[in-house]
Amino acid sequence: MDTDLQVKAKQLWKEGNELMDVDNYSEAHKKYLKALKINPNYCDAMFNISLAKFLMHDLSGALEMLRKLEKIEQNRIDIFLVHGRIASEYIKLLAEEQRKCVFAAIGIDPNNKGITDLVADINSKIALIEASFGSLGEKLQGNGEVYRTKNQDENKLTVEREEVTRNMLRKSSVNLGSVVGMQHAKKVLNDEFRLLRASESGKYGNMFQNTGIILYGPPGVGKTRLVLAFAGQHNLPVYTVRINEVLDMWTGNSEKNLQKIFDAAIRDPPSLIVIDEIDALGRERLSRDGSDRTLVNQFIVSMDRLREEGKGVMVMGTTNRPFDVDQALRRGGRFQTEIYVQPPDFRDRVELFSFFLSEFELSHDNEAMEILARETELYTPADIEKICREVLLNYVIDNPESIKPEITLNNVLSTIMGYRAGGRTVKLWYERLKESMGKDWFDFEYPELAEDVMKFSKV
Ligand SMILES: Nc1ncnc2c1ncn2[C@@H]1O[C@H](COP(=O)(O)OP(=O)(O)O)[C@@H](O)[C@H]1O
Ligand SMILES: [Mg+2]
């Protein structure tokens, strides 16, 4: 580069620094930008731009600039340290934003399922952050300074997580009342809850200890919803394990992440560890690096550990692919209870339609509800929910002026006609099951499922 221009850029940089010294960040920012325009790889200018942005509370802008800078300058520790510091400010800011969103949503409709989903999602992220701090701390052991900071951070994150789970789940009051039908599964879970309390009291030794429950069935029947509602009903903090998020590219970290989640749940009984799509455990890992089973093994160790230390901790897994769940998990008292969640029957569908259409007069017309239920054999609650939403949407589009929406049976029926996916997923699920499994296997292990496979794969 032309030396004249270089001198000019440096001059602008210096002027920027003087402005920074008198806290005039926005003018300083302009100077640095000008310097950068002259020399697009001017690292010092980039570095100070990110500082100025940070001081002007533009955290995402600051981070973006640092990311660019790191591509050019890969060996400067000050860049990484500043980047890390700003990133942690950013996490705090976003956490606050998340908290506000959840509280605002609770204020509008405390029973909305999206709230529980969001809270579960936030919790799993926080658990993961904590988990990675944990492994970082171990790597840094001996380096007093950094290690202390790590401990402080960890405590803060733990407190935050507990606030999120306890307060928000309790306030969101998503309970079993918002889950239509599923009587059998609800009853089994309620029995399990009594056992959980008995085991937590410690009075009966290991007698009532049931470490795990698996809910299985076709997609969309409400397995995940039921687990979250169960937690809400009994005020149990939920520790969510998402296999993809637990998996870490560093050897040994996935196992540590999993262990951290179990540690946290054990410290906090009665509590629930939820593993959605539990069949992914093992499968994902196998496809990633071919051979090792360490994550499954760690999981088994953690489950077995619950029997000794985990009074009042229960693990609940859900899956659409029960036959893919690692055999070792289903043995040895790990997942003792398996609950088959069927698609809603006729009565359930009547209830589902009146539940999702409850804002309308039509929902009180039992005959109409029965007609709808008859038209929707093998439709899941998820299908029915979608249909009902669409009915409302169509109504609003067609009657923009209406103040109190009222719909007719025909409105719903025509939406059902237009909803081709309905019933397909469930039927396919049973058909696949029939194809992939020998008949003997069903008869022996899952008699109820075998019956449904025969019944529904023909519908
Ligand atoms: N029994 C139910 N009562 C009310 N809504 C339900 C029920 N089951 C499912 N839903 C609705 O359908 C959607 C899908 O349910 P989900 O629990 O994710 O199914 P699964 O985990 O079995 O695949 C949920 O978002 C929920 O709104
Ligand atoms: Mg699910």
How much is the pLDDT for 160?
Answer: 34
Structure confidence at residue 345 (pLDDT): 95
Quote the pLDDT of residue 158.
35
Quick one: which ligand is closest to 223's CA?
1
- Sheet with strand 313-319: strands edge to edge: 238-241, 271-275, 313-319, 212-216, 337-340
Which among 389, 326, 358, 310 is positioned nearest to 114, based on CA atoms?
389
pLDDT in tens, 399-453: 777 777 789 999 999 999 988 778 888 998 998 888 876 666 666 567 788 888 8
CATH number assigned to the domain with residue range 346-422, chosen from the 4 options 1.10.3120, 3.30.70, 1.10.8, 1.10.3470: 1.10.8
DSSP classification of residue 179? S
Q: Which two tokens stand for residue 319?
A: 């899956």
Q: How far is the CA of 221 from the centre of ligand 1 (A)?
A: 5
CA of 223 to the centre of ligand 1 (A): 7
> Which residue would you say has higher pLDDT here, 233 or 134?
233
Output the pLDDT for position 350. Answer: 98
Residue 17's pLDDT band, with cuts at 50, 70 and 90, is confident
Ligand 2 centroid – CA 376 distance (Å): 21
For helices 183-201 and 223-233, give the axis angle rounded to 10 degrees: 40
Question: Is it the case that residue 199 has pLDDT exceeding 80?
Answer: no
User: Pick the residue with more confidence: 132 or 434?
Assistant: 434
Q: What is the residue whose two structure tokens read 């600051």?
A: 62
Q: Which pLDDT belongs to residue 292?
A: 52
In this prediction, residue 209 carries a pLDDT of 67
- From the CB of 185, is ligand 1 less than 6 Å away? no
CA of 174 to the centre of ligand 1 (A): 13
- Tell the residue nearest (CA) to atom 16 of ligand 1: 222
pLDDT given at position 132: 65
Establish whether residue 317 lines the binding site of ligand 1, counting it when its CB lies within 6 angstroms of any ligand atom.
Answer: no
Mean predicted confidence (pLDDT) in 313-336: 84
pLDDT at 322 > cutoff 90: no
Query: Domain 3-74, what fold?
Result: 1.25.40
Minimal CA–CA distance to 239: which of 193, 196, 273? 273
Share of the chain above pLDDT 70, in %: 81
**Which residue, 79, 74, 76, 77, is CA-closest to 63?**
79
pLDDT tops 90 at residue 38: yes
Give, using CA atoms, the residue closest to atom 27 of ligand 1.
Answer: 382
pLDDT beyond 90 at 206 = no
Give me the percent of the chain exceeding a pLDDT of 90: 29
Residue type, 419: Y
Tell whether the model's pLDDT for residue 384 goes beyond 90. Answer: yes
Report the nearest-CA residue for atom 11 of ligand 1. 382
What ligand has the least distance to the C-alpha of 279? 2
171 touches ligand 1 (CB under 6 Å):
no
Residues 6+ apart with CB under 8 A from 299: 258, 281, 329
Phi, psi of 278 (to 5 degrees): -65, -20
- Gap between the Cα atoms of 5 and 37, Å rounded: 10
Q: What is the pLDDT of residue 161?
A: 37
Q: Does an H or E element contain 420, and which?
A: none
Nearest ligand to the C-alpha of residue 340?
Answer: 1
Phi, psi of 268 (to 5 degrees): -130, 45
Q: Is the CB of 113 under 6 A from ligand 1?
A: yes
Greater model confidence, 442 or 105:
105
Q: Is the pLDDT at 141 greater than 60, yes or no?
A: no
| Helix then strand then coil, % of the chain, to nearest 5 | 70, 5, 25
Phi, psi angle pair for 270, to nearest 5°: -75, 140
Mean pLDDT value across the chain: 80
Asked if 220 and 381 touch (Cβ cutoff 8 Å), the reply is yes
Ligand found nearest the CA of 426: 1
Mean pLDDT in residue range 71-79: 85
Atom of ligand 1 nearest to the CA of 341: 22
**Which has more pLDDT, 308 or 150?**
308
Q: Please write the tens of the pLDDT for every residue from 48-60.
A: 999 899 888 899 9
What's CA 351's distance to the chain center, in Å?
28
For the CA of 181, the closest atom of ligand 1 is 1
> Does the pLDDT at position 385 exceed 60?
yes
Measured from the CB, is residue 224 less than 6 Å from ligand 1? yes
Task: Give the highest mean pLDDT range of 160-169, 199-208, 290-299.
Answer: 290-299
**Would you say the CB of residue 120 lies under 6 angstroms from ligand 1?**
no
Report the residue among 176, 214, 216, 221 best suited for mutation to probe ligand 1: largest number of ligand atoms under 8 A from its CB.
Answer: 221
- Ligand 1 atom closest to the Cα of residue 318 is 21
Q: Residue 68 has what pLDDT?
A: 93
Q: Is the pLDDT of residue 367 over 90?
A: yes
Ligand nearest to the CA of 278: 2
pLDDT at 242: 72
User: Among 385, 386, 388, which is best to mutate for testing ligand 1, by the most ligand atoms less than 8 A from CB?
Assistant: 385
CA 255–ligand 1 middle distance (angstroms): 30
How far, CA to CA in Å, does 292 sit from each of 61, 253, 255, 285, 296? Answer: 41, 14, 12, 8, 9
- Map residue 111 onto helix, strand or coil: coil
Q: Where are the domains of the chain?
A: 3-74, 176-339, 346-422, 425-456
Q: Does domain 176-339 have CATH number 3.40.50.1820?
A: no
More confident residue, 166 or 415: 415
- Whose alpha carbon is nearest atom 9 of ligand 1? 222
